[in-house]
Structure 1
Amino acid sequence: MKVEFSKHVLKVVSVYPCRDLAREIIRGGNKMGKNKVKLWFDEETDILYVSFRKWPAVDSEEGEGMRLEYDKEGQIIGVEVFGITERLAKPLARKLARAVE
């Protein structure tokens, strides 16, 4: 899946359940500056928020179920993924169905 924004193109190469995604990010040492990547999941709104920095967002851009947030230098500081459960459930269900065929 590829999500295009005016400033960036995000290519989702793999889908992990939220807990595994958090582990992969932490293991991979993905950091911006000294801050670690942080994840929040809001079950009520079905939104996953990934924060790369603590700086305040001064701009944002939305596209295909995601929103990117930018700092004053135009760097991505956060990503919101809307409908995360649905986005994870379908690919996982397809993989499970193939595995039991």
Structure 2
Amino acid sequence: MKITYDSEVDVMRIIFNNSPIEESDEEKPGLIVDYDKEGNIVGLEILDASKRMDNPRLVEYSIPK
């Protein structure tokens, strides 16, 4: 998984795998879901990220025991 934030366009991108994107849908305003040819989710894009979260540059990661 890879998470990037582009402050110039204020977009956060979460990539789950490197499969080619076949289709993208804006499920809700500002949330774009990318799918591969089998319909699996490849990634998410959050538009206007700084308006939707406190700090789009902060990432916390945890693995439960």
Report the TM range for the smaller structure's normalisation.
0.7 to 0.9
Percentage of identical aligned residues: 34
| Higher normalized helix content (fraction of residues) | 1
Which residue is equivalent to 2:39? 74
Question: Which one of 86, 91, 96 corresponds to residue 51 of structure 2?
Answer: 86
Question: Bigger relative contact order, structure 1 or 2, given CA contacts below 8 A and separation 6+?
Answer: 2
TM-score norm. by structure 1 comes to 0.51
Consecutive unaligned residues of structure 2, counting only runs of 5 or more, are 55-65
Q: Aligned-residue CA RMSD in angstroms?
A: 0.8
Q: Which has the larger radius of gyration?
A: 1
| Higher normalized strand content (fraction of residues) | 2
SS in 2 for 1:73: coil
Shift of 1:59: 0.5
Which residue is equivalent to 2:18? 54
Distance in 2 separating the partners of 1:38 and 1:88: 18
SS in 2 for 1:68: strand
Which residue is equivalent to 2:9? 45
Distance in 2 separating the partners of 1:57 and 1:49: 13
Give runs of ≥4 in structure 1 deviating > 2 Å.
none
Which residue is equivalent to 1:98? none
Distance in 2 separating the partners of 1:70 and 1:43: 24
